[in-house]
Amino acid sequence: MERTLVLFKPDAVQRGLVGKILSRFEEKGLKIVGLKMRVFPEELLRTHYEVHKQRPFFEGLVKFMGSSPVVALALEGKDAITTTRTLMGETNCAKSAPGTIRGDFGMSFSHNLVHGSDGPDTAKSELALWFADPAEVCEWTPQQTTWVYDVEEEL
Ligand code: UDP
Ligand code: MG
């Protein structure tokens, strides 16, 4: 089982898409283990996107991410990292395939609705950054687990 960080960016919240986007992940069978909403501090946003700090879009991205509330999620599931990225679609919404979140709901490269960790190391560090307090992460077993997975073979 893997865990990954997902963010619903300010455009998703402002456009009233929180419910629809959350449903994509829930209906897929990913388990929500953390969920919170706020305008996050600039320092956290800078750290989160540190890998892009030399890129020309960095300052605009940090400003955008701090311009309105963001929903932060910790999701758990088998191959949760790649599964989440597949559901999201590619970075540029305009080029993203129909059926994906970005492909179905967006038009923009920068205002692209969602973030998902891109690998096991990033997932680990991003979860430590956004869900530093263990009290904000719920350990629980959904009753549907044995219907989502073939537990004998897959877990
Ligand atoms: N971004 C942007 N312009 C670019 C590339 C990226 O505004 O030319 C923004 C966009 O919001 C993207 C984020 O920076 O989601 C991080 O970029 P990355 O390449 O990591 O894409 P992601 O992993 O989010 O698909
Ligand atoms: Mg990325």
pLDDT tens over the chain, length 155 residues: 999 999 999 999 999 999 999 999 999 999 999 999 999 999 999 999 999 999 999 999 999 999 999 999 999 999 999 999 999 999 999 999 999 999 999 999 999 999 999 999 999 999 999 999 999 999 999 999 999 999 999 98
Ligand 1 atom with least separation from CA of 51: 20
| CATH value at residue 81 | 3.30.70.141
Phi-psi region of 29 (alpha: psi -120 to 50; beta: other; left: phi over 0): left
pLDDT at 4: 99
pLDDT at 155: 87
pLDDT at 51: 98
Ligand 1 pocket check for 40: Cβ under 6 Å: no
Output the CA 139–ligand 1 centroid distance in Å: 31
Ligand 1 atom with least separation from CA of 112: 11
Structure tokens at 10: 């300010």
Q: How many domains does the chain have?
A: 1
By residue range, what is the domain housing residue 77?
Answer: 2-154
